[in-house]
Chains A and B, each alone.
Chain A
Amino acid sequence: MNYSEKSVDKIVKDHNGDASKVILMLQDVQSEFRYIPREAVKKLSDDLDIPEARIYHIATFYKAFSLVPRGEHEIRVCLGTACHIKGGKRIAEGFERALKVKAGETTKDKKFTLETVNCLGACALAPLVQVDEENHSKMTIEKIDKVLKQYKK
């Protein structure tokens, strides 16, 4: 979704303009636009009266935030310990080859963003891949194409 000042206005109002809630506001901005647009940082800075630099500090410190637009679907390959010893790293490499991007990048057609994450807390399903909200358990190299196909439509 493209940046709209009205949406940010509403987010600030939802949190009563309380500057200590800036992280929660950024989370809402992120889920609204799928990234943190520059304009939103500027507006939050003005509305909450905190320096832009502090907002950028937060936006780059926490993994939840991205300053560049994300793909339509987010693929998170879990690299928690249980997933690691069951080959999570190789699954991540498999996705990198299939999508022709590195972890952390978005495909050219803006369809997928590939990410590795440090444990989704569903270790019994290792190795685990999450696409958007959906979990794909006990992943194998062979299943990668099948999983991607589900979201390509």
Chain B
Amino acid sequence: MRLETPNKLEELRKSILEKQDPNKQKILVCGGTGCISNGSLEVAKAFEAELKSQKLKAEVEVKITGCHGFCERGPLVVFLPQSIFYERVDLKGVPDILKETLISGVPHDKYLYRMTKKDDPITKEEDIPFYKNQLRWVLRHNGKIDPTSIDEYIAQGGYSALAKALNGLSPERIVDEIDKAGLRGRGGGGFSTARKWRSVKDADGGPDNIRYVICNGDEGDPGAFMDRSLMEGDPHSVIEGMIIGAYAIGSNKGYIYVRMEYPLAVKHLDLAIKSARDYGLLGENILGSGFSFDIEINRGGGAFVCGESSALMASIMGRAGEPRAKYVHSSEKGLNDLPTNLNNVETWANVPLIINRGADWFAAVGTEKSKGTKVFSLVGSVNNVGLVEVPMGLSLREIIYGIGGGIPGGKKFKAVQTGGPSGGCIPEAHLDAPVDFDELTKLGSMMGSGGMIVMDEKTCMVDVAKYFINFLVDESCGKCTPCREGLRQLLIVLTRITEGKGKEGDIELLKDIGDCMTWGSLCALGGSASNPVISTIKYFRDEYEAHIKEKRCPAGVCQDLITFSIIEGDCIGCGRCLKVCPSSAITGENKKPHVIDEKLCIRCRACYEVCPVDAVMIE
């Protein structure tokens, strides 16, 4: 069915809504990657089967949605219209949950959310602290609609921004609106979206006047998965944003570049593109406006550097993903040497919102120079792991403690790492800093795509720096010398320090190499690659010095600088450590204290991890 005019879209929306009963009983089961891994699809099937056997199938709808965000507590199940939130739902609980929620009308206590085991349960989703303090604009449909159904997106007002744009807004007016809203690139750079659009719009598109738009769904940052959740959970909002952008810029051809590690995202995007085409929302003569635009999906080959714009374009053209020097911007000569506009997934998803609700509405939230919201993936040593969307300017403390619920196991906060490998570690002293593009940069870190990794006192900051450099050694494309060789040298020095062979002057050497890379590298990967080292030196210099001068790892992480022993009085002789020890370094009899032979120990930490009574000591 093709929708030939914007009015037809409205008619379709009305007819979909008429068929929907807002009071109908619905069971939403999270189909995000996290919940699926914990068995949510089986849970959904069990609900279906149980409803059938209870003869309730006609009255109750079971729906698999995109990621609800609260991955820590999955599988998540929400009952509508009551808005009852169940966590960690397993197959065993399904019959009881159904019986109590639907028949007796009282929520089933066992699977309700509790902050800790001792706390009272919270019944409604909106009352849970994790959700209460968020402002879910971009993630508004995630967890609410079935991402494989275009009708559900349309019922929520989907594609109305596109209709509005094509039906009365000039391309110029759209760019102005985005400009007034103050939208900045959510991929990490924070460049003004309107400025980028304008330069592509004004660039010379050659004899055939061709321009391209690209959605960067390569999300290679370790610790970040918000783009994945958006592409999987609400693909149409990304596509709608791209069509509006293409119309504003004057482009007829778009690409979505997705990592091959995200097969479900590819599947849902593919389906969304096909159904948008069927409705005439993509392809020739969109909504009868005369404007034509189509999108193609490109699967990445698994290279971190392909998140960099010129490398990504090289990859789409069928070459190795090596960046080029940008004397000429991609906005003038990008894909096939023609003007190209590349934005991140989250940036595109913001566009329909701005067009629908207006620039003033959008700009009312945020800080002076960073408007709107930002989605973060809050992971690591934090109680409530998951995706959170907050207004720009909220403090790190409010995010980590207010929404994230603080550090588990009574441990102390040490640092939060933001911005992926190009970012930095922020210590406790700056926890009250407001989170926006410029504040994070001031602290020596950056927004990046929005990974936020919380680290507790058991994390060694030199090891973390080494981790990122090791990652980047693998991922540098190797084309320019400062990045290729600089990273290698950084790794050599950091490895030396963590092995207890650090020398006086090593810290200065690290800084010098970092400087060299910042100024001399070809692309942003090399230019920012030393950030994790520089920021950890800045805030945790004492930890570097302990490694170099005292040959000691204060956090007890660096293998060569620690020894393991068993505290005799604490050991209950359960034998679990003995069983997992790969080097047979542990001896002992059942129910008697065990002993570690330091000479045989390979410091793999297995015993420390399995000990149920914390009797293994690291020094």
Contacts and interface: CB of A to CB of B under 8 A. Distances in A.
A137 interface: yes
A121 B471 contact: no
Interface string B298-323: 11111110000000000111111110
B605 A118 contact: no
A82 B298 CA distance: 27
B464 A141 contact: no
Given A87-B605, A142-B610, A63 B467 contact: no
Interface stretch (B180-188, B337-345, B380-388): B380-388
Contacts of B38: 125, 137
Contact of A90 (B221, B320, B606): B606
Contacts of A21: 318
A121 B262 contact: yes
B451 interface: yes
Contact of B580 (A19, A20, A120, A141): A141
Contacts of B420: 81
Nearest to A84: B467
B323 to A, nearest CB: 13
A147 interface: no
Interface residues of A, number: 47
Interface in A76-117: 79-87, 90, 93-94, 97, 117
Contacts of A124: 34, 71-72, 74, 379, 385-386
Interface stretch (B171-179, B223-231, B246-254, B522-530): B223-231
B301 A23 contact: yes
B209 interface: no
A83 B464 CA distance: 12
A126 interface: yes
In this complex, the member of A26, A58, A121, A133 whose beta carbon has the largest number of chain B beta carbons within 10 angstroms is A121
B222 interface: yes
B267 to A, nearest CB: 12
Contacts of A22: 318
In this complex, the member of B34, B219, B474, B605 whose beta carbon has the largest number of chain A beta carbons within 10 angstroms is B34
In this complex, the member of B221, B259, B606 whose beta carbon has the largest number of chain A beta carbons within 10 angstroms is B606
B145 interface: no
A90 to B, nearest CB: 5
Contacts of B386: 124
In this complex, the member of A23, A65, A97, A123 whose beta carbon has the largest number of chain B beta carbons within 10 angstroms is A123
A122 B232 CA distance: 13
Dominant secondary structure at the A interface: helix
Interface in B551-581: 576, 579-580
B318 A118 contact: no
A82 B453 contact: yes
Contacts of B464: 84-85
Interface in B407-421: 417, 420
B302 A64 contact: yes
A57 B606 CA distance: 40
In this complex, the member of B318, B377, B475 whose beta carbon has the largest number of chain A beta carbons within 10 angstroms is B318
Nearest to A96: B582
Interface of A: 19-24, 26-27, 54, 57-58, 61-65, 79-87, 90, 93-94, 97, 117-126, 133-137, 140-142
Interface of B: 33-34, 36-38, 71-72, 74, 219-225, 228, 259-263, 298-304, 315-322, 377, 379-381, 385-386, 417, 420, 451, 453, 455, 459, 464, 467-468, 471, 474-475, 477, 576, 579-580, 582, 604-606, 609-610
Given A61-B301, A81-B467, A122-B225, 20 more contacts: A20-B317, A20-B318, A65-B301, A80-B222, A81-B223, A81-B468, A84-B464, A85-B380, A85-B459, A87-B609, A118-B220, A118-B474, A121-B259, A122-B33, A123-B379, A123-B451, A124-B71, A125-B38, A134-B37, A142-B610
